[in-house]
Amino acid sequence: MTRAPAPDSRPVALTVAGSDSGGGAGVQADLKTMEAMGVFGTSAVTAVTAQNTCGVESTHVLPVEEVTAQIEAVRSDFDVSAVKTGMLATEPIVSAVADRAAELDVPLVVDPVMVATTGDRLLDPGAEDAYEDLLGSAALATPNADEAGVLTGVEVTDRASAVEAGEALVDLGTDAALVKGGHVPGDVVRDVLVTSAGVETFEHPRVDTDATHGSGCTLASAVAARIAHGDSLADAVDAGVSLLARAVRYHLDVGEGPGTVHHLAALRDRAARQPTAEAVEGVVRRFVDADVSPVVPEVGMNVVGATPYAETPGETAAVEGRITRTLSGVQPNRGVRFGASSHVARFLLSARELDPSLRFAVNCRFDERVEAALSELDDPAVELDRSEEPRPDAEGSTMGWVARRAFEETEGTPAAVYDRGDVGKEAITRVLAPDAGTAVSRVLALSEAVGGE
């Protein structure tokens, strides 16, 4: 018996860009990113580059006729909802793409690729002037600071100059400009979106890495994909910036150079949710079976598991209502769900800033017997004095301080962080682990050493 087909319907986007043999940038990056954002990606290749994570070795620009033929082949068959351009290489290609983009009459995201992250030039100087017509058809231009300088003559060094450059680009004809801050020094990356309606700034902490190959392509493609889904421009930019921030932090360690951004990090994160929740459920069952009552604190115990790419408490799975002691042992109040923990989740996420391999955290009681049992753990336990704790930050969390101080007090990653409490604060032991098995073994070691009450 044959099976009935179950086709999947999704928006279509088109990228017009160069090919990167190293797979990190260009058309390859665009198509990976579009797939990660739930869009079917099509492509028109403008040039073939021999490049890798170390640099560009050679470039072969395709004839204009071949580029336009690819665009025509796509538009004649697919209902394209958004177009993204990248490396266009020469003035004839820029002009031809500008003509075709106007005919397509769909939102156009222009990433004015001029220089690769490695420093290699990817645009014929004569093509720079031709960008004015292309920008006139664009819903959004996404230049970095250097590209914005070339296009507008404004040197981008801070938010004010980014706004000035963005306004100049809007004056050139683009509906909006996202002036990226990755090339502007500072601990915070500020991407500035300028439209005729005003200015919006997107900020995130800078990641201390040189593995940014493909970052511009990835951001522009992510924005185009969300526009294809029907998002507003601001929402599409917000989604693109969030995707790129995660893609840079969890970059791929490939090649002999610094590496490349992880285009599928957000997709992999979503795929890891169910296995992470199941892992937390497995830890809870082990604790119930072993009856870890001796180490359950008065406020209750929670088990928190982070996905491999978790950045927020909503991307951590935990017991809703915590694990509490009963007359017959310990039991979870309710099931496991994402976003169920705040306090322990923020501690785990703060610790992951210092050691991204950490995936699990468990809060346990602290007293003299637990203190004696901490020596049984396979890695050091660190004591903190919470009387030195700063006032809560804007989010009401001091967990960042707790994690940073713990890592400062020991070499490597602590197995547990404990304190003797303070006014209105229960003494607590926080167990950290890179995997579920280690979390179980560390908590069981404490429980067995402490013994029954």
Give pLDDT, residue 76: 94
Torsion-angle region of 256 (φ positive above 0: left; ψ -120 to 50: alpha; else: beta): alpha
Give pLDDT, residue 114: 77
Task: Compute the distance between CA of residue 249 and CA of residue 206 in angstroms, rounded to an integer.
Answer: 9
Secondary structure of residue 325 in the 3-state scheme: strand
Domains and CATH numbers, the chain: 12-264 (3.40.1190.20), 272-450 (3.40.225.10)
Give pLDDT, residue 121: 59
Q: What's the pTM value of the predicted model, to 2 decimals?
A: 0.89
DSSP line for 254-301:
-SSSS-B--TTHHHHHHHTHHHHHHHHHHHHHHHHHHT-GGG--TT-B
Among the listed residues 165, 138, 152, the one whose alpha carbon sits nearest the alpha carbon of residue 224? 138
Q: Which amino acid is at 267?
A: L
pLDDT tens, per residue, the chain with 453 residues: 899 999 999 999 999 999 999 999 999 999 999 999 999 999 999 999 999 988 889 999 999 999 999 999 999 999 999 999 999 988 999 999 988 888 888 999 999 987 655 555 566 677 777 888 899 899 999 999 988 988 899 999 999 999 999 999 999 999 999 999 888 888 999 999 999 899 999 998 999 999 889 999 999 999 999 999 999 999 999 999 999 999 999 999 998 999 999 999 999 999 999 999 999 999 999 999 999 999 999 999 999 999 999 999 999 999 999 999 998 899 999 999 999 998 899 999 999 999 999 999 999 999 999 999 998 888 899 998 877 777 665 444 678 888 888 898 888 899 999 988 766 678 899 999 999 999 999 999 999 998 754
Give pLDDT, residue 423: 62
DSSP line for 74-137:
HHTTS-EEEEEE----SHHHHHHHHHHHHHH-S-EEE----B-TTS-B-S-GGGTTTHHHHHHT
Give pLDDT, residue 218: 96
Give pLDDT, residue 89: 86
